[in-house]
Chains A and B, each alone.
Chain A
Amino acid sequence: MGIKRKPKLAVWKFASCDGCQLTVLDCEDELLTLTDHIELAYFLEASSAVKRGPYDISIAEGSVTTQQDVERIHKIRKASKLLIGAGACASSGGIQALRNFTNVKDFVSAVYPSPEYIKTLDTSTPFSQHVPVDYELQGCPINKHQLLDAISSFLHGRKPNSTSYSVCIECKRRGNVCVMVAHGIPCMGPVTRAGCNALCPTYNRGCYSCYGPKETPNTASLSTWFRRLGMKEDDIVRIFRTYYSNAEPFRKESKLHEKDEK
């Protein structure tokens, strides 16, 4: 507990659904304890009172999709001792990174009545593509346990308990029966990073990969098995392009199953 004054925490939003910020609010009981130990210096979703930087910890959600975003993440990086990227958007580009596979102009003209007002980048990218990021919380959205663990490790100088292994580990620790083996349901668990405590397989659903690729994911072998379970190429593209489509292993795998339309 080297720091005497209360450390200043800032929470930032980029292109996102706000789900990860809501996770901070979802800490409810812990939030009160948290404010005893941390000063919420910038968190618009919770309070309009803002304090100037520098900040001890910045938690940023969302991805970089505009030129202003690029500039803002650089400013935040400069103003923060520790920058934590929160969620699938922050660490891979998120669902909106689907634009990276097509021409974003087509979307803009299809969605907006006056497309000339929209200025956006061609891609949705993670913070790490623009600035050094100290720590990333995975998940779409992140969960409060990992968030509190990250904050308390920072406060007390210990290593956060991040996982890089598969969802299968958590699934088996819970004593679940594998949905893929017992019911033939395609499951992304074997290539997905643990963190959710195998939520979907526990309720008899295949994993959707909300936590993105695990370490050394063997996507090719899993795709081969998905095909044997009766999945069509289109479905395989979709299953790898849900929350972490722009994460390199998933991006590559999904491309292999795309029908050549040209």
Chain B
Amino acid sequence: MKPSLQRGDRIVLEREHFQNLLDALNKKGYQIIGPTLGEGSIIYGKLSCVSDLPIGWTDEQEGGMYHLKKRGDNALFGYTVGPHSWKNFLFPSVQQLLQAKREGKGFQVNRKREEIPKFAFLGARSCDIYAITIQDKVFIKGKFVDPHYASRRGDTFIVAVNCGKAGGTCFCVSMGTGPRADLGFDIAMTEVLKSDRHYFLVELGTERGAEIFQEIPYKNASEEERATANTVVENTAKHMGRYMNTDHIKDLLYRNYEHPRWNDVAERCLACANCTMVCPTCFCTTVEDTGDVPGGHAERWRKLDSCFNLDHSYIHGGSTRYSIRSRYRQWMIHKIATWIDQFGTTGCVGCGRCITWCPVAIDITEEARAIRKSEQAAE
């Protein structure tokens, strides 16, 4: 029997034992979700063995552009975040809320209990863990609890990966959300690739994280191994693809509701809503009722919606945000200003998805910069 591991311990997992981690999670009854190749990008899906990971692949990301490329090594996590986020699993974009059956003069409501697996998220990046923390605050930590989110979130096991490379549109350093995972994980790993060795420096974040390693070969981390892993993450932090100056950002935006830059971005913005759909913190939904022709059966569905849709601001008499200008402004000011008043942090974790997946490359960091610069120029 090995000496028992504890929360906070740092250990080393060799690459050849990585499969043991997946096996241990499987054995505990988790459904492992993690990065895998699909549709020409790195998406999240079910994993059962190491070879399901995008081994040796990386992504190149820029505004409105995403490409896969071979790395020239066998890294397991040599890329950043793709089009999917954990939101796809914790807050599915289409969910049935209830079914109703007509009975006499009334109706019988039926809530289908979904079989929800116990998730283990493998390879969660720091920005995305912050995003989960934000959605937790919205859905389960407030006055009202969303039962659907709550049951999926349950006790998700989180295996974080500290980024060994920043993507072209990443800016977690600006938002204080990465690239090193510092909260919300059960275990956090840094991948170290050397010419003669491939290993993971593992930090145990919880008791159950420590427990998982009881059955996996590991050794305690040496000073040198820790230092090497640190250098990897520090290096990532120095190479962020994007930067946003968040100094008094709330006041900056509150002062600039009528800034001409909103007209400029409105000329480019398609109001297509891709940015909000991929954003790991955006949570707006719409509710749709459907019924069959005989009128005996009705269903209520909840679907991911967006403030970029005209109907989203529809009230009696029409939509309050008719222009694209007002919709983009609503989105950006909510993300990085009013969110602070509402939930205590910004709603942006700097993952860069909205920049990469905007079909016309609109960049939230650039829009913020343009507004700040014009004020500085005026001074």
Contact = CB atoms under 8 A, between A and B. Distances in A.
Are chains A and B native binding partners rather than an unrelated pairing?
yes
A23 to B, nearest CB: 15
Interface string A32-44: 0110110000000
Contact of B359 (A34, A152, A158, A181): A181
Contact of A177 (B40, B308, B322): B40
Interface string A130-173: 00000000000000000011011101101001001110110011
B271 A218 contact: yes
Given A36-B294, A152-B293, A190-B272, A216 B310 contact: yes
B273 A165 contact: yes
Contacts, number: 136
A113 interface: no
A172 B278 contact: yes
B39 A182 contact: yes
Contacts of A153: 291
Contacts of A156: 291, 295
Interface centre among B40, B43, B306, B359 (most CB of A within 10 A): B359
Nearest to B274: A168
A216 B324 contact: yes
A172 B270 contact: no
Interface residues of B, number: 48
A149 B291 CA distance: 7
Contacts of A164: 309-311
A28 B329 CA distance: 47
B52 interface: no
Contacts of A168: 272-274, 277, 359
Interface in B285-309: 288-295, 303-306, 308-309
Nearest to A36: B294
Interface in A104-148: 148
B41 interface: yes
Q: How large is the interface on A (under 10, 10 to 19, 20 to 34, 35 or more residues)?
A: 35 or more
Contact of A173 (B94, B271, B293, B323): B94
A221 interface: yes
Given A156-B295, A168-B277, A173-B93, A178 B83 contact: yes
A31 to B, nearest CB: 10
B56 interface: no
Contact of A169 (B269, B309, B323, B356): B309
B132 to A, nearest CB: 18
B273 A181 contact: no
A149 B66 contact: no
Given A33-B293, A175-B88, A177-B43, A218 B270 contact: yes
B15 interface: no
A181 B64 contact: yes
Interface centre among A30, A178, A184, A191 (most CB of B within 10 A): A178
Interface string B21-44: 000000000000000001111010
B277 A30 contact: no
B41 A225 contact: no
Given A181-B357, A221-B360, A33 B294 contact: yes
Contacts of A178: 66, 83, 274, 357, 359
A204 interface: yes
A189 interface: yes
A1 B293 CA distance: 11
A30 B277 CA distance: 34
A37 B293 contact: yes
A185 B88 CA distance: 24
Contact of B270 (A37, A182, A184, A190): A190
B309 A218 contact: no
A189 B290 contact: no
Interface string B53-72: 00000000000111100000
A176 interface: yes
B118 interface: no
B359 to A, nearest CB: 5
Interface in B271-285: 271-274, 277-278
Interface in A2-56: 30, 33-34, 36-37
A17 B116 CA distance: 46
B268 interface: yes
Interface in A172-206: 172-173, 175-178, 180-184, 187, 189-191, 204
B288 A180 contact: no
A183 B67 CA distance: 8
Contacts of B64: 180-181, 225
A165 B359 contact: no
B270 A177 contact: no
B309 A182 contact: no
Nearest to B278: A172
Contacts of B274: 168, 172, 178, 190
28 contacts: A33-B292, A153-B291, A155-B295, A156-B295, A158-B291, A164-B309, A164-B311, A165-B273, A165-B309, A168-B272, A172-B304, A173-B93, A173-B94, A173-B277, A173-B304, A175-B43, A178-B357, A181-B65, A181-B359, A187-B359, A190-B360, A204-B39, A217-B270, A221-B267, A221-B269, A222-B270, A222-B359, A224-B360
- Lowest 6 CB-CB distances: which A-B pairs, in order? A172-B277, A190-B272, A173-B93, A177-B39, A190-B270, A165-B309
Interface of B: 38-41, 43, 64-67, 82-84, 88, 93-94, 267-274, 277-278, 288-295, 303-306, 308-311, 322-324, 356-357, 359-360
Given A182-B66, A221-B270, 12 more contacts: A33-B292, A156-B295, A165-B306, A168-B273, A169-B306, A173-B277, A177-B38, A177-B41, A178-B83, A221-B268, A222-B270, A222-B359
